[in-house]
Amino acid sequence: MMMIYFDNSATTQPWPSVLKTFTAVSEQYFGNPSSLHPQGARAQRLLDQARSQTADLLGVDKKEVVFTSGATEANVLALTGAAEAYQNRGNHIVTSAVEHPSVLETLKELERKGWEITYVSPDTEGNIHVSQIEKEIRHDTVLVSLMYINNEIGSIYPVEEIGKMLRTHPSVLYHVDYVQGAGKIPLDMYESGIDYLTISGHKFHSVKGIGALIVRNGRNLHPLFHGGGQEGKKRSGTENTAGAAAMARALRLSLEEAAVGNDKLRRWNARIEKVLRDYRGVTINSPVSRAPHILNFSLNGMKPEIIVQALASFEIFVSTTSACASKAGEESHVLKAMNLPGNRAAEAVRLSFSYDTKEEEIESFIEAWDEVYASLIGRRESVL
């Protein structure tokens, strides 16, 4: 029985060539980039190369790339760093109620420090509109923070249009969580008026422990860490040279796959949706217009953990809410914010694909789902 991994929004399997890069750099360029000796200088040159490659692939200036340990650190750095650097402008931030926990929990901490946070809710389709954000902008608004692609339901938010709207509010800074879009769906940081952009390597087949915050030239940021002043004095600590090199390679390979890969994922996503809709009690939670790699659904009256375990018996691995919340057994804050009828927020199952996903895996899932559904519905009705 082959393993079918449909939890790629949580993390992806590192590609072999990416692991090869990580291992080779770890073995051969292990010096501290801040050291003056030749081994340190070699590590610094490779780090600079990884920074330049990452910048070119994202269409930004290499000086704007700040390497971090991942998306959580990058999001916290963007929100806390911008809030502290620009607190003279006001104490108000606008965001959505469906952001990743690393954003929402950081904003809760800022609330405890006296900041006022406005949370915009999506409609029942999971969409957020420019007018909703614009309506909440005030004279003391310092920052707007919004994800590009929702990690649970795959909604694509209008970050470009919001950026254009914010041009009429030049004092308001703009942070975008690009974690689910990087390597998949292009985003022009400059055209979109974005000041801070978050990416995470392990979401596009790199290793864990490496990410980046892109900080637009001229934008200030109060650092979280103090020490040696690495990363342009924005993020102290010895740099992860091997991780940076691996992430740059993974990003390039992902973007090369995107043109053909996204078309395949859209077809397969739509195929599974069509099949699921034929089963009584199944409701699709993802919007019609969504990212190609995410599909979210609920089965009425069935706990998602039971579905996850039933599929796991077929070596098919899916998830419930975001990976950060699933272990806690929490209902989906995203679906709850959508104000959906019934108990769908507590019954959500997420399928998330990658460019490694194969058509035979889609067909195997469909066959397994038929057995899982019959078993679960039969068990439920026998209890009733």
* C-alpha–C-alpha distance, residues 346 and 352, integer Å: 18
Q: Closest Cα to residue 214, out of 194, 187, 185?
A: 194
Tokens of 5: 């991994």
* Contact by Cβ (8 Å): 222, 173: no
DSSP string, 177-191: E-TTTTTTS---TTT
Identify the active-site residue in 324, 346, 366, 377.
324
Phi-psi region at 126: left, alpha or beta (left = phi > 0; alpha = psi -120 to 50): left
In a 3-state reduction of DSSP, which class is residue 150? coil
Tokens of 69: 């340990």
Name the phi and psi angles at 304, rounded to 5: -65, -30
* C-alpha–C-alpha distance, residues 276 and 224, integer Å: 45
* C-alpha–C-alpha distance, residues 94 and 141, integer Å: 7
Assess whether 143 carries a catalytic annotation. no
* Contact by Cβ (8 Å): 67, 52: no
* C-alpha–C-alpha distance, residues 63 and 56, integer Å: 11
Strands (E), 238-363: 282-284, 294-299, 316-317, 348-352
* Contact by Cβ (8 Å): 80, 93: no
Please list the alpha-helical segments (H only) found in 278-332: 304-312, 323-326
Q: Closest Cα to residue 311, out of 356, 383, 376?
A: 376
* C-alpha–C-alpha distance, residues 150 and 147, integer Å: 7
Q: Closest Cα to residue 261, out of 326, 344, 204?
A: 204
Rg (C-alpha) for the chain, rounded Å, is 21
For strand 294-299 and strand 282-284, is the pairing parallel, antiparallel, or unpaired?
antiparallel
Tell me the catalytic residues.
Answer: 324
